[in-house]
Amino acid sequence: MAVYTDVAAEELAVFLAGYDIGDLLSYKGIAEGVENSNFLLHTSRGHFILTLYERRVAERDLPFFVALMEHLAARGINCPQPVKNKAGKVLGKLARRPTAIVTFLDGMWIRRPSAAHCAALGEALARLHLAGADFAMRRDNSLSVAGWRQLYEGCRERAHNVERNLEKVVAAELDMLERDWPRGLPEGVIHADLFPDNVFFLGDRVSGLIDFYFACTDTLVYDVVICLNAWCFEPDHSYNVTKGRALLASYAKARPLSPDEWARLPLLARGAALRFLLTRLVDWLDVPPGALVRPKDPREYARKLRFHQTVKSARDYGLDEP
């Protein structure tokens, strides 16, 4: 989450008049994240999240995200639910941006996840994949391997300003991944961005999953390694094998990995690291003036990529092949 577009109180009041969610008492921007503009609304009927979609979210994809959240909720996944306006529509326009309101979830995200949190996350991710197995809609992943070259070309000339020789490291990795990216592994709906700030906890229990605006149809185990990267490294960027084992074992207990998925884990982990390295690099170099956003350091994922390049087999992540 983030705020790129400011919203005047008068303009917001006119927009909210089209909804039956009570009177607006207060609202504030949410600075976490890097993609859309988000506001916490407090009305006489409770709290809601207002999202203005921008940057990488295409308006044509919004029906997919809305339908997916409704589908998952119907199958027991606690995720935000779109709020319809008085005309029965989910999507509107505010500040010339596609806009939606979703329900607010209780809980808090964990800044220093423990192994117990990683285990709970692994189970929640597997349950999400199983719940999405019969979702009828499809959305290709625009930020998978086929889209990385364009991201790289857009930041190649300035990458060395972030880290020496970074453009060469990325170029070599990109060449390899485009050549060797695995095909034919089990596919389905993936979240594709399940970082700690998108998972709410009450104690050690997952209370909700949010921010489905990168969700797509892709390789299921790719979603697992995105989480491995996001949850199982320490602040000094060292890999925590205990957390990795907890996440993988918990996921595999609910949805067992095939031998092919297991064998491809290290390569997919490298791809996931490169994906977030590239998008963070673009964001780091091109923050719009005046945006209330904290761009995330791409060097974090350069270090994670270097770790994955040393991995000999999936056992190095802490779990023998199931």
Tens of pLDDT, residue by residue over 17-45, are: 999 999 999 999 886 655 788 899 999 99
pLDDT digits (tens, 9 = 90+) for 207-242: 999 999 999 999 999 999 999 999 999 999 899 999
Last residue of a domain, one of 70, 102, 134: 102
pLDDT band at 295 (very low <50, low <70, confident <90, very high): confident
pLDDT at 21: 96
Domain containing 31 equals 9-102
Q: Tell me the chain's radius of gyration from C-alpha atoms.
A: 20
Instruction: Compute CA 144 distance to the chain's CA centroid, rounded to the nearest angstrom.
Output: 13
Residues in contact with 180: Cβ distance below 8 Å, sequence separation at least 6, in sequence order: 267
Cβ-in-10-Å burial (0-12, 13-18, 19+) of 296 comes to middle
Is 70 exceeded by the pLDDT of residue 16? yes
pLDDT digits (tens, 9 = 90+) for 32-80: 655 788 899 999 999 999 999 876 678 889 899 999 999 999 999 999 9
Task: Clarify whether residues 49 and 97 are in a common domain.
Answer: yes
Residues in contact with 32: Cβ distance below 8 Å, sequence separation at least 6, in sequence order: 1, 2, 197, 294
Task: Clarify whether residues 188 and 212 are in a common domain.
Answer: yes
Task: Clarify whether residues 98 and 236 are in a common domain.
Answer: no
Task: Clarify whether residues 17 and 128 are in a common domain.
Answer: no
- Nearest CA-CA partner of 225 in 178, 177, 274, 179: 274
Task: Clarify whether residues 292 and 186 are in a common domain.
Answer: yes
Task: Clarify whether residues 161 and 286 are in a common domain.
Answer: yes
Which residues, in sequence order, are bridge partners of residue 51?
38, 100
Task: Clarify whether residues 65 and 160 are in a common domain.
Answer: no
**Residue 278: inside a domain:** yes
Task: Clarify whether residues 149 and 273 are in a common domain.
Answer: yes
pLDDT at 51: 92
Task: Clarify whether residues 171 and 284 are in a common domain.
Answer: yes
pLDDT at 264: 97
pTM of the model: 0.91
Last residue of a domain, one of 102, 123, 153: 102
CA 272 to each of CA 31, 96, 220, 257, 266: distance values in angstroms, whole numbers, following the listed order: 24, 33, 12, 18, 10
Our count of domains for the chain comes to 2
Sign of torsion over alpha carbons 251, 184, 61, 152: positive
pLDDT at 319: 87
Last residue of a domain, one of 77, 102, 127: 102
Task: Clarify whether residues 75 and 157 are in a common domain.
Answer: no
Task: Clarify whether residues 198 and 243 are in a common domain.
Answer: yes
Task: Clarify whether residues 45 and 151 are in a common domain.
Answer: no
